[in-house]
Amino acid sequence: MSAPYTSPLAEALAPGLLERFQRYVRVATQSRRDRERSPSTPGQRELGELLVGELREIGLADAALDEHGYVMATLPGDGPAIGWIAHLDTSPDAPGDGVEPIVHRDYDGGVLALPRGGTVLDPEQMPELRGAVGHDLVTASGDTLLGADDKAGIAAIMTAVAHLAAHPELPRPTLKVAFTPDEEIGEGATLFDIERFGARCAYTVDGSALGELQDETFSAAGAVVTIEGHDVHPGFATGRLVNAARLAAEVVAALPADLTPEATSGRDGFIHVYEVRATAARATIHAIVRDFDDERLQAHADVLRRTAETVVGREPRARVTVDVFPQYPNMRRFLEGHPEIVGRAEAAMRAEGIEPVRTPIRGGTDGSVLSQRGLPTPNLFTGGHEFHSVREWASVQEMAAAAATLVRLAGGWAGA
């Protein structure tokens, strides 16, 4: 049995990391889309309090949970203040309470059947499993997500900070740690106090496969098309009824079929209609628009606007309004001027024996908004896979590699 660790450091960090990870995933921290306060659910605050206690025990005396559910703490060092960020919440898109993690030692490359829900992890369907033969895998029990997104990131940061605190001889800059609520509902960065955090740049630890290093996200906009018809009792409707529901259906059908998430990949953007609410009197079409390029994003939004105005414009008695609003920007433009931020992450991975994988994210991270607000923040891998599903799994070896990469990243920034 030779578990394939990326380094002796990663191997040494693994047992403590696994213990932390199993503790964190058991706290129910799913966020809720209809949030009335921050955090949207009490479990996130519970995990925040647990982490504050552990950070203080490690020696980060200023660790605290703020009124909005953000954990922040400092490990003093030599050099600029550098941030490490992970999110407390898990996705509302799959059941997430009552997580019971299972460790599958020395994965043999076959099908993993989980005890509940008939859930099966099959390398035929999930090719990333093939890269994890010989690893120790963690899954949930089949009827919940695991929550490696992003508790693998939290465990990696906690493990790296604990290691550095226990080894004062190791070089490190001043390290700022933050754990954020409600990332999965797009609110992780909104109440983040960048000034109090006081870092020059940061890294979210919220990626997936070994070596992922992401400094590019979608640019994102939301859109709402509202159609006002004219409702009349159908018995008296001849020549008078203007049916907003039918017009909404025509608008959706007229949108380009090759400009959807299901028909695009790589660097191509899309228009995604995710909700239509309609009565004869009034209809709303909710869509998101995405692209890596801001001009193309604008062009997609224009397609949506023109389509709605053209289709509804054929019925002069109907009215249409199209509201397009920005959501988050591609972080690349905020990182381009600071090549050392990504450069030091690449160097840390290489020192850990990992070849960096630079993939653009077909989505956003807390770092998209933080970068825009003045805290440049690329994203690093965690070793978690199949996020937001009951088939979610994580590799102990890859999570340990993430923690070891952070230790090396600290070394790279020391005295900078």
Annotated catalytic sites, by residue? 89, 183
State in angstroms the smallest separation of the CB of 156 from Zn ion.
Answer: 13
Strand 81-87 versus strand 201-205 pairing type: parallel
Residue 298: partners with Cβ closer than 8 Å, 6 or more residues away? none
Strand 319-328 versus strand 219-228 pairing type: antiparallel
If the CB atoms of residues 99 and 251 are measured against Zn ion, the closer one turns out to be 99
Select from 31-39, 203-211, 279-287, 403-411 the region that touches Zn ion (CB under 5 A). Answer: 203-211
State in angstroms the smallest separation of the CB of 89 from Zn ion.
Answer: 9
If the CB atoms of residues 82 and 154 are measured against Zn ion, the closer one turns out to be 154
Round to the nearest angstrom and report the end-to-end CA distance of the chain.
41
Select from 53-61, 200-208, 340-348, 406-414 the region that touches Zn ion (CB under 5 A). Answer: 200-208
Beta strands of 128-194 (E only): which ranges?
A: 137-139, 174-180
Select from 65-73, 147-155, 217-225, 242-250 the region that touches Zn ion (CB under 5 A). Answer: 147-155
If the CB atoms of residues 128 and 294 are measured against Zn ion, the closer one turns out to be 128
With beta carbons less than 8 A apart as the criterion, state whether 309 and 254 touch.
no
CA torsion sign for 214, 344, 51, 66 is negative
Select from 20-28, 136-144, 149-157, 341-349 the region that touches Zn ion (CB under 5 A). Answer: 149-157
State in angstroms the smallest separation of the CB of 377 from Zn ion.
Answer: 13
Annotate 245-299 with DSSP letters as a single string: HHHHHHHHHHS-TTSSGGG--TT--EEEEEEEEE-SSEEEEEEEEEESSHHHHHH
If the CB atoms of residues 20 and 300 are measured against Zn ion, the closer one turns out to be 20
Which of 54, 89, 136, 150 touches Zn ion by CB under 5 A? 150
If the CB atoms of residues 159 and 243 are measured against Zn ion, the closer one turns out to be 159
- Site size toward Zn ion (CB under 5 A) is 3
Which of 54, 149, 182, 212 touches Zn ion by CB under 5 A? 149
Q: 111-125 in b/e burial notation, b at 16+ Cβ within 10 A?
A: ebebeeeebebebee
Query: Per-residue x/- marks for Zn ion, 101-140, CB under 5 A?
Result: ----------------------------------------
State in angstroms the smallest separation of the CB of 150 from Zn ion.
Answer: 4
To which H or E segment does residue 165 belong?
Answer: helix 148-166
Q: SS3 for 213?
A: strand
291 makes contact with Zn ion (CB under 5 A): no
Query: Per-residue x/- marks for Zn ion, 205-244, CB under 5 A?
Result: -x--------------------------------------
State in angstroms the smallest separation of the CB of 365 from Zn ion.
Answer: 7
Residues in the chain: 416
With beta carbons less than 8 A apart as the criterion, state whether 324 and 222 touch.
yes
State in angstroms the smallest separation of the CB of 388 from Zn ion.
Answer: 9
CA angle 379, 301, 336 (to 5 degrees): 30
Select from 28-36, 69-77, 171-179, 204-212 the region that touches Zn ion (CB under 5 A). Answer: 204-212
| Chain contacts with Zn ion (rule: CB under 5 A) | 149-150, 206
